[in-house]
């Protein structure tokens, strides 16, 4: 039996590996282990795998016993560790050098600017005076973000000099923390500044097969001005054929520049004028039920591809998979307060066109002002004949079934609602 070492991840990834007949050796964090994972995995080691000094000897011992052939991680905190393990054991795959280019967003910017004179400019943020200096050189607005984080945590738009004090205060507050809002597995440390890219944002789910990059889909991202929280995702994106090709070409060139050859990537791109520009990328698939959207619309299981391709157990995808209908995620939000009760979740899940219902709060939890993805209360994903119909259906399920009651500071109780978005897809153009 061939052996996969899986670093972190969710139940579906373990299921996919076992269905392919692989022996699964699972490294899982104590806060993430589930009963289903313990049941399915052949070997389970529960430890803080982000601690390399503790993880390396455990992995070496596991390899001596089980002859690990490949290492895979599809979770942000595990990506660098998986690459380090592959390098340590000489297993091939994505190297730590390449992994760090994805995980360290400032390193990615510096890497790209050496290959593209028009790449987005970026500079480290060390102290307060760096903010006005960057604004004077590159103009306003610009963006401040952590070099390594996820879910839009700690990302700020600096509109003009009046924002400097607030942004610097937030950077000082967040730097060096492991908060529950971003996961205790991730440390917010270095910040940097980069040029603001105007235009609508999309994410691209790709899968690379020996250096051939297949754009599985382009996802239309739903947002509102004023913050970076993602309030919905629609598959496939509403784009003209020309715009779709520009985004796909941009991502293909980017992955070549990064030296990435095999596996999934989730890359965020903005269409700015006539050009597509890279915002950031992760060598894993996207969150927010995007894999469920891809499975519903394209019949492609990203977990199966991710664990099967390194062993040659799945066929490579042809170019340009064809969509069948549409699918959409809509977020659930509420005004600040405290959650009183949650009802209707199981009934919503039973609806035949619902792909996923995920509630991220419990009774008694604080509801914070909406700033990033971790301030949302949950999501509903639905499928329909088109992205437009799916967006409407997901919102309808939230309105009809989900009852999350939130009490504000005055004692008034109100219901959470579907997030209003800047743009809901109206069809594929």
The model's pLDDT over 328-363, given as tens digits with 9 standing for 90+, comes to 999 999 999 999 999 999 999 999 999 999 999 999
Report whether 82 contacts 9 (CB < 8 A). no
Q: Classify residue 305 as left (phi > 0), alpha (psi -120 to 50) or beta.
A: alpha
Per-residue pLDDT, 426: 47
d(CA 16, CA 21): 9
DSSP structure string for 4-46? EEEES--HHHHHHHHHTT-EEEEEE-TTT--HHHHHH-SEEEE
Neighbours of 341 (CB within 10 A): 12
Q: Report yes or no: 268 and 203 within 8 Å, Cβ to Cβ.
A: yes
The predicted structure's pLDDT at residue 181: 47
User: Any idea which architecture 3-93 has in CATH?
Assistant: 3-Layer(aba) Sandwich (3.40)
Cβ(29)–Cβ(22) below 8 Å? no
Please tell me the CATH superfamily of domain 326-418, with its number.
ATP-grasp fold, B domain (3.30.470.20)
Looking at residue 424, its pLDDT comes to: 52
- Of 392, 390, 365, 391, the C-alpha closest to 377 is 365
pLDDT the model gives residue 174: 84
Supply the pLDDT for residue 19: 97
Delimit the CATH 3.40.50.20 region(s) of the chain. Answer: 3-93
Which stretches within 67-186 are classed as H helix?
A: 79-89, 96-103, 105-113, 130-138, 164-174
Q: Is domain 200-311 given the CATH code 3.30.470.20 in the classification?
A: yes
Which tokens hold the place of 183? 């996961």
Query: Which residues make up the CATH 3.30.470.20 domain(s) of the chain?
Result: 200-311, 326-418
Whose structure tokens read 């003209």?
Answer: 240
| Peptide bond preceding 193 in cis form (omega within 30 of 0) | no
Q: Residues with Cβ < 8 Å from 84, sequence gap 6 or more?
A: 52, 56, 96
Contact 332, 379 (CB under 8 A): yes
Positions of the chain with pLDDT lower than 50, given as ranges: 180-182, 426-429
Residue 60 in tokens: 């070496």
Phi-psi region of 312 (alpha: psi -120 to 50; beta: other; left: phi over 0): left
Give the angle subtended at the CA of 134 by the CAs of 132 and 139, to the nearest 5°.
95
121-195: CATH superfamily: ATP-grasp fold, A domain (3.30.1490.20)
Contacts for 375 with CB less than 8 Å, ≥ 6 apart: 181, 229, 333, 367, 368, 369
Predicted pLDDT at 149: 61
Using DSSP, state whether 134 is helix, strand or coil: helix
Residue that has been written with the tokens 């001596």 in this structure:
64
Task: Judge whether 239 and 218 are in contact, CB under 8 Å.
Answer: yes
Q: Alpha-carbon distance 234 to 424, whole Å?
A: 8
Contact 157, 196 (CB under 8 A): yes
């Amino acid at each position: 039996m061939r052996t996969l070492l899986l670093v972190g991840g969710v139940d579906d990834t373990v299921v996919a590996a076992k269905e392919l007949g692989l022996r699964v050796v699972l490294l899982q964090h104590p806060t993430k282990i589930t009963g289903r994972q313990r049941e399915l995995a052949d070997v389970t080691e529960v430890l803080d795998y982000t601690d390399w000094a503790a993880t390396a000897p455990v992995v070496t011992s596991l390899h001596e016993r089980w002859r690990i052939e490949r290492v895979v991680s599809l979770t942000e905190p595990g990506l660098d560790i998986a690459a380090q393990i592959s390098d340590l054991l000489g297993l091939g795959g994505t190297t730590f050098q390449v992994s760090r280019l994805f995980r360290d967003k400032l390193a990615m910017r510096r890497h790209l600017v050496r290959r593209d004179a028009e790449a987005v400019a970026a500079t480290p943020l060390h102290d307060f005076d760096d903010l006005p200096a960057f604004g004077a050189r590159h103009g306003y607005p610009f963006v401040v973000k952590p070099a390594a984080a996820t879910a839009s945590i700690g990302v700020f738009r600096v509109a003009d000099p009046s924002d400097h004090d607030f942004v610097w205060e937030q950077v000082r507050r967040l730097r060096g923390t492991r908060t529950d809002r971003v996961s205790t597995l991730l440390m917010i440390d270095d910040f940097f500044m980069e040029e603001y890219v105007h235009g609508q944002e999309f994410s691209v789910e790709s899968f690379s097969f020996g250096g051939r990059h297949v754009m599985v889909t382009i996802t239309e991202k739903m947002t509102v001005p004023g913050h970076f929280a993602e309030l919905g995702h629609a598959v496939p994106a509403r784009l003209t054929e020309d715009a779709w090709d520009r985004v796909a070409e941009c991502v293909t060139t980017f992955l070549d520049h990064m030296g990435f050859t095999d596996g999934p990537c989730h890359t965020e791109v903005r269409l700015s004028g006539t050009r597509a520009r890279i915002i950031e990328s992760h060598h894993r698939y996207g969150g927010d039920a995007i894999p469920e959207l891809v499975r519903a619309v394209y019949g492609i299981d990203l977990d199966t591809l991710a664990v099967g391709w390194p062993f040659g157990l799945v066929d490579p995808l042809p170019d340009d998979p064809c969509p069948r209908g549409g699918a959409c995620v809509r977020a659930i939000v509420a005004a600040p307060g405290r959650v009183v009760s949650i009802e209707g979740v199981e009934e919503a899940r039973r609806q035949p066109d619902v792909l996923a219902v995920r509630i991220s709060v419990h009774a008694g939890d604080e509801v914070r002002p909406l700033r990033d993805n971790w301030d949302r209360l949950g999501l509903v994903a639905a499928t329909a004949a088109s992205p437009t119909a799916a967006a409407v259906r997901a919102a309808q399920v939230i309105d009809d079934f989900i009852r999350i009651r939130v009490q504000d500071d005055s004692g008034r109780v109100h219901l959470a609602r579907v997030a209003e978005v800047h743009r809901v897809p109206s069809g594929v153009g």
